[in-house]
């Protein structure tokens, strides 16, 4: 086997470039789908533009769908996250990545189900916001060394900021 590669994960000693699919998925889940849903509900239901409406759809798309789909991918294919996000080179990391996937699925389900019960939104916002906030802070302290990590950094901190605003305006500034 060629030097610079490890058995099992097929990783070369090079930085991973972000595929346009990963970038577009994040843009859709962070901006386009929440905005479309907010506009749709406002037009169809007459729901006023406020933080309750913004929070509903950001929690659903940016936390729920994002973490659920990431979790399914991590649980079913931990090699992708290990090699393309974390640059891990050993098979031992796959068990931890798979368990991270289960945790992401769990938080994602909470965010998805919060769309049907507004009483569940604050806890989904707190759990998901905490996750994204801590992940974003971690990205800040570890200088991102790939486009994937830069996209993840921006996504994490953006969702964290919106969740903080949602929780603040929903509970403290009414």
pLDDT tens digits along 7-51: 444 433 334 444 688 899 999 999 999 999 999 999 999 999 999
User: Region 82-94: what's the mean pLDDT?
Assistant: 86
Select the more confidently predicted residue: 14 or 151: 151
Is there a domain that residue 14 lies in?
Answer: no
Please tell me the distance from the alpha carbon of residue 49 to that of residue 34, in angstroms, as a whole number: 13
Is there a domain that residue 53 lies in?
Answer: yes
Is there a domain that residue 34 lies in?
Answer: yes
**Residue 112 pLDDT level (bands cut at 50, 70, 90):** very high
Is there a domain that residue 79 lies in?
Answer: yes
Please tell me the distance from the alpha carbon of residue 30 to that of residue 52, in angstroms, as a whole number: 17
Is there a domain that residue 6 lies in?
Answer: no
| 2 pLDDT above the threshold of 60 | no
Write down the pTM of the prediction. Answer: 0.85
Residues with Cβ within 8 Å of residue 98, at least 6 apart in sequence: 74, 75, 78
Residue 65: which domain range?
A: 20-169
**Residue 146 pLDDT level (bands cut at 50, 70, 90):** confident
pLDDT in the model for residue 38: 98
Contact between 166 and 125 (Cβ < 8 Å)? yes
Please tell me the distance from the alpha carbon of residue 40 to that of residue 53, in angstroms, as a whole number: 11
Is there a domain that residue 5 lies in?
Answer: no
**Residue 172 pLDDT level (bands cut at 50, 70, 90):** confident
Please tell me the distance from the alpha carbon of residue 6 to that of residue 38, in angstroms, as a whole number: 47
Is there a domain that residue 95 lies in?
Answer: yes
Please tell me the distance from the alpha carbon of residue 61 to that of residue 163, in angstroms, as a whole number: 12
Please report, to the nearest 10 degrees, the dihedral formed by the alpha carbons of residues 42, 45, 116, 128 taken in order: 0
pLDDT in the model for residue 133: 98
Cα–Cα distances in angstroms (integers) from residue 140 to residues 129, 134, 143, in the given order: 16, 10, 6
- Considering its fold, how many domains does the chain have in total? 1
pLDDT in the model for residue 43: 98
């Amino acid at each position: 086997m060629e030097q610079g590669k490890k058995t099992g994960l097929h990783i070369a000693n090079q930085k991973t470039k972000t595929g346009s699919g990963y970038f577009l998925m994040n843009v859709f889940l962070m901006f386009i789908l929440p905005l479309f849903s907010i506009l749709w509900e406002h037009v169809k239901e007459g729901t006023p533009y406020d933080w309750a409406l913004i929070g509903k759809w950001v929690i659903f798309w940016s936390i729920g769908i994002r973490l659920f789909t990431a979790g399914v991918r991590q649980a079913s294919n931990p090699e992708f996250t290990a090699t393309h996000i974390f640059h891990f080179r050993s098979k031992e990391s796959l068990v931890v990545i798979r368990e991270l996937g289960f945790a992401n699925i769990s938080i994602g389900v909470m965010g998805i189900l919060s769309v049907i019960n507004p009483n569940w939104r604050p806890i989904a916002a707190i759990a998901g916001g905490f996750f994204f906030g801590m992940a974003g802070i971690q990205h800040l302290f570890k200088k991102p060394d790939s486009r994937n990590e830069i996209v993840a950094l921006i996504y994490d901190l953006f969702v964290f900021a919106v969740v903080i605003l949602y929780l603040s305006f929903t509970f403290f500034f009414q």
